[in-house]
Structure 1
């Protein structure tokens, strides 16, 4: 456990919100020093390692996956400006405090240690990967997938702790995606004292909003777990001054998508003249369709919890998009299981429990060695 905590502290101390290079260097150097695996680094900074049946074209590939980029730190979490100063890292009361401790350098440390120590079945290629750009839309994952990195199965080490109940690390079988859209309403300007001479874009936008309010939110069922999306107008911007009929109004829509279903947002544009629908960002949802993998991973997690005298974890649904969505879209069967607890990631008091990291390490080891 000390080795895991020490490696976590080392990685957390390395700034990686503007430039992930140094953190990726540290992961690559550790893998080369501590393993006999084939270690690779691609042009965007993703780090990979492979061992096991790497020469068998029929071998299945199981990957342990994390990311080493983080969101910008709070002032209290860094010793200097930008990537010039190290992040502040403190260990107290069994927890490691610092930007990226929970999301997700602690889990990356657990992944690489489990990769080193695991003895996979003879017909399995075991991989570990740490991506860049997860916090900005999965740029690293998408680059890796485009270059051919599509493992058969993957455990993405994002947070799943304390979802079903306090004190357990659950296994996520599905998560929501996020589609950010803009409804652009166009009209024609006129003096506000003669509104009949113009077409009010705000009114058209209001009519489109009424259509959005009547749309059904997407919903699905994965491994017996209900996944319910959502749909909400979050920003309305239109008009330039008080005495001119507005000729343009933009409506921002936040949609949480689910596997296999999306809201019919195109209807809002089709139903109202002068309105267009534009998709700004589309982070895919995730669902694991491999029941044996999902059940086997949960069995491993329950064995680990039982050995530690903890309550049993469950299959759960995660509300947040992760790199698992990109992998699922590419054909990988992914699950999410990791140390971060709700309310820890992206906060100025971010921390992770050393005992939870150890629990994750044991789960990753067990999954890497188990046949499915």
Structure 2
């Protein structure tokens, strides 16, 4: 267990500083805060590339440091107007509210854009990185919210730790108030199906080919696909497929020549839903617009080591769980890094006007990360 008495307080102070620094349009300022703090408080080799990966720091020999990495991101989605002050800065507020775990008492929470997703966990990882006494790597990527831009750049440049603990939310997934360990998460494949026909006057529909009818036939095929499922280290996970938007037609008296709809597919490790079958319909094409990979931990020893670290730092028992959202862990896992996700954010907090993070949980995560890095360094 971490013995630095300042660990929790430092993680909270750093969270406040990171949350106060805007990073939805331009991430360079908060990236510089992260990099400068690491330079001032550690002996790490620190790189900040605001147009590339973001911030990457290593302690010790590079090969040894890449045994295990603490990974996060410092970009955020656009703030709600209530989260911005008159000068354009972010509003950061600490309040005492009822605990989310139903324990009946209260807890202190830090409110502000990015507090949950995921500057609280980034701050906790920075402090843990400072406190550990073994070689390790820290990375805070840019552009996670727009498709993992920073993580993908880092991977292209050779970022390849053996193990990574990604600090996205895992608190209150199995038990309210408990920080669990995510061993699998879904990916997202977004696609567009386009149906083309031949326009004509609606009074003589037989002269044309109705693109909406063709699209409707394709929608029926999407609804009928078998959705894949997976089991990761004993945890089951199922994907999903949903038609989310549809557009077509040019007038009430015109048989439409085009109609398109979008499909949101949440993917799991292994097979994908056979959406390509929509192209069996005449005049229909299918285009993949985004494909965020899922993550599945493939090393039980690592998953158990992080779970043991989480268990040691809290009174109630954490569990290994799955997560419905894609994270940078998917890109890392696809490139060969064995990943888990463990972080302070709870379901329903990210991207909201009332986004907040539990201060005690941020403090806990700093201890979990340091403990988990030490345990992982001992794996054969």
TM-score normalized by the length of structure 1 = 0.94
Q: Which residue of 2 aligns with 1:52?
A: 60
**RMSD after superposition:** 1.1
Q: Contact 1:208–1:272 at 8 Å: present in 2 too? A: yes
Shift of 1:311: 1.2
- Identify which of 111, 114, 118 aligns with 1:104: 118
- Does residue 67 (structure 1) correspond to residue 67 (structure 2)? The answer is no
Q: Which residue of 1 aligns with 2:101?
A: none
- Identify which of 88, 91, 94 aligns with 2:94: 91
Structure 2 CA distance for aligned equivalents of residues 79 and 156 of structure 1: 31
Equivalent residues, number: 358
* Structure 2 unaligned spans of 5+: 1-7, 97-107
Q: Which residue of 1 aligns with 2:352?
A: 347
- Identify which of 185, 201, 204 aligns with 2:214: 204
Shift of 1:60: 5.2
Secondary structure of 1:182's partner?
A: strand
Structure 2 CA distance for aligned equivalents of residues 132 and 170 of structure 1: 25
Q: Contact 2:309–2:368 at 8 Å: present in 1 too? A: yes
- Identify which of 30, 33, 42 aligns with 1:35: 42
Structure 2 CA distance for aligned equivalents of residues 44 and 79 of structure 1: 30
Q: Contact 1:174–1:335 at 8 Å: present in 2 too? A: yes
Q: Contact 1:328–1:334 at 8 Å: present in 2 too? A: yes
* Structure 1 unaligned spans of 5+: none
Structure 2 CA distance for aligned equivalents of residues 147 and 172 of structure 1: 27
- Could you say if the C-alpha distance between residues 178 and 22 of structure 1 is closer, same or farther in structure 2, counting changes exceeding 3 Å? same
Q: How does 1:1-372 map to 2 (within 5 A)?
A: 1-42=8-49, 43-44=51-52, 46-54=54-62, 61-80=67-86, 85-93=88-96, 94-120=108-134, 125-269=135-279, 271-305=280-314, 310-370=315-375, 371-372=378-379
- Could you say if the C-alpha distance between residues 224 and 55 of structure 1 is closer, same or farther in structure 2, counting changes exceeding 3 Å? closer
Shift of 1:44: 2.4
Secondary structure of 2:200's partner?
A: coil
Structure 1 CA distance for aligned equivalents of residues 363 and 258 of structure 2: 54
Q: Contact 2:53–2:151 at 8 Å: present in 1 too? A: no
Q: Contact 2:111–2:356 at 8 Å: present in 1 too? A: yes
